[in-house]
Amino acid sequence: MAKTQVQSVALPRIVDLDALDDIRETLLDALHSGPVDVSADAVERVSTNALFMLLSAAETARQAKFSFTISRASDTMAASIEKLGLTPAFAPVLKG
């Protein structure tokens, strides 16, 4: 049974290939419970694969009719999203 309480997931400073498996598992657990808010204010480095994983998680949440937000994206993360041309894809989920 899905919870209505928002599940919080905090991204680490380095979101690279080495961190993806742990983050993916955390996101999957949260997504199985209901709405998810990802805190991205600590991110100092983010890989392209990590950004695509976040978009995939957002789509999974959308299909399950749960909210999915990324709050307080660090300047580094926001710059990476913009540099890769992913701003339109992230626009629906970026908050603050």
Position 15 in a domain: yes
Position 2 in a domain: no
Position 79 in a domain: yes
* Mean pLDDT estimate for the chain: 95
The confidence score (pLDDT) of residue 4 equals 72
Beta bridge partners of 36: 7, 68
pLDDT, tens digit, 9 for 90 and up, residues 45-87: 999 999 999 999 999 999 999 999 999 999 999 999 999 999 9
Position 12 in a domain: yes
CATH number, position 17? 3.30.750.24
Question: Do 41 and 70 form a contact (C-beta atoms < 8 A)?
Answer: no
Measuring CA to CA, which residue among 38, 41, 57, 48 is closest to residue 86? 48
**pTM of the predicted protein model:** 0.92
**CA 42 – CA 21 distance, rounded (Å):** 18
Position 53 in a domain: yes
Q: How many domains does the chain have?
A: 1
Cβ–Cβ contacts within 10 Å for residue 34, how many? Answer: 18
Band (96; pLDDT cuts 50, 70, 90): confident
